[in-house]
Structure 1
């Protein structure tokens, strides 16, 4: 377990710049595209831009697109599109894991959940700018067609202690780290208490 913890810490230090890319990149979204978004068991009307926004390269992204300015426990941001548009089973699993982590004195904050396709493309475009090539950017940011964030099937958690806790206990709730280089990225990839599938090298592998 100590080896795993040290590997996790090293991975987070090496990849800290990627978090900045994922949290800061943005794109302008036409108002006509801001319609309802299906969230599994309900349809959430995301409406016009509201709440926090980010400006990157002259483009704007808002909470309606899945943007979250600061991570927060899932219960505090359950009404936002980033959480409301997640797969319902994933939402419930993350909520249960968050409660269990709190009992251990660890606060799990959700830095990102569901994202609109145009927001995901903006993140990828920003990744190309930051990393110098599409191939390198794809190691950190998936395409809109393949992104599990766009599908509402992934969350990014923080901070370090929460990532460590999730790595050690997440599978109790069916939550698994799916990419070796993204210790913060979790998906509902197994049944509660089941074994997590082998991690892929990075998002370019799937």
Structure 2
């Protein structure tokens, strides 16, 4: 956490040299849940901020699309001091499978656990990256998984300006990939892209 505070102070000290909007956190600055408040459980998650058994069941059910699950997790939101929703979901998965074995989890469950992990502790996004990588390997055609994973990658490289262009190109390439399922509402997709475009001017010739 101290490193993040130092980086933020550096950005503020640089004034106009670095776009101050980049000092925002990718994970906490992309409220895709706003687009899904017509779903009662997402609306409840926004109010309570804590994962309930009903919400855990929602995340593990194969009857709900992955973008709605992402929206629910996003609605649970974050706190500077951290949350425990990933741990709650881990306990649910243990009761479901008898143990927490990642190989037994469905692609949606892997993604849910990854997203909950970074939302709970966005100062340490590297903890979630292996889970996102596995989720993507098992759900390569999902635009939702691809874009949320890139947000986590952006969270990791916030203090590494040399990586900002690469992250933008990953986001732009994923968005333009017509082979992916468009399993994310257009307005939610735009929320993510509107944030990620802030990294574009780090690329040569503003590509």
TM over 0.5: no
Larger RCO: 1 or 2 (CA < 8 Å, sep 6+): 2
Per the normalisation by structure 2, the TM-score is 0.29
Of Structure 1 and Structure 2, which has the larger fraction of its residues in strand? 1
Between Structure 1 and Structure 2, which shows a larger proportion of helix residues? 2
